[in-house]
Amino acid sequence: MIEPSETLHCVPADNRWGPILVGTDGSEGATRAVDAAGGLAAALNTGLWIANVIDGTSESALTQFARAEEASIGDVASAEARRILYEAARRAEASGASKSRTVQYSGNCAEQLVAAAREIAAKAIIVGRRGAGGRLAQALIGSVSQKLAGISPIMLVIVP
């Protein structure tokens, strides 16, 4: 039995836990995931990769914005992804992560996050329970966290 004054350490003795990947879409749930991932990366003294995946679910909103700005949908989506990643990197640093990188993908969110995790040899993927898609979209097509739970080959942390 562990006494209240004892500390249980889960970090390997050689402290080479490996990189962590966190997915963000800029939503409130993703922001909580970035905060948790930043704190965990700091505690484990490991790298943090922050990924944003552009998919087709918000295409109508992007189309309207692109028309208003007289820009291409791709340019608008890319600019929004850069903004989301910049803000996430600042949050991760505020949570203690000192070694973070940002990456941008397009396609199916869950599949792209798994591919990114494999590419960087991540030890864990961290995501929020609910993203920017909203409850209706999640009810109709499922959430990224639900899909990841079924396909992730590595540890998956879903932050409420």
Write out the DSSP string of 11-53: S-TT-----EEEE--SSHHHHHHHHHHHHHHHHHT--EEEEEE
With bands split at pLDDT 50, 70 and 90, how would you rate the model's confidence at 80? Answer: confident
With bands split at pLDDT 50, 70 and 90, how would you rate the model's confidence at 1? Answer: very low
Question: Within a domain: residue 10?
Answer: no
Contact in structure between 116 and 49 (CB atoms under 8 Å)? yes
Give me the pLDDT at residue 128, please. 95
Question: Within a domain: residue 3?
Answer: no
Question: Within a domain: residue 60?
Answer: yes
How confident is the model over 34-48, as pLDDT tens digits? 999 999 999 999 999
> Residue 114 is part of which domain span?
20-159
CATH number at residue 131: 3.40.50.620
Higher pLDDT among residues 67 and 39, named by residue: 39
Residue found under tokens 């992560």: 97
CA 27 to chain centre: 10
Question: Within a domain: residue 12?
Answer: no
Q: Bridge partners of 101?
A: 49
φ, ψ of residue 133 to 5 degrees: the values are: -65, -25
What are the strands of the beta sheet with 20-23, ordered from one edge? 100-106, 48-54, 20-23, 124-128, 155-159
Question: Within a domain: residue 76?
Answer: yes
Average pLDDT over residues 7-34: 78
The 8-class DSSP code of residue 97 comes to -
Question: Within a domain: residue 33?
Answer: yes
Question: Within a domain: residue 6?
Answer: no
- Counted domains in the chain: 1
Q: What percentage of residues in the chain have a pLDDT greater than 70?
A: 71
Question: Within a domain: residue 1?
Answer: no
Give me the pLDDT at residue 64, please. 59
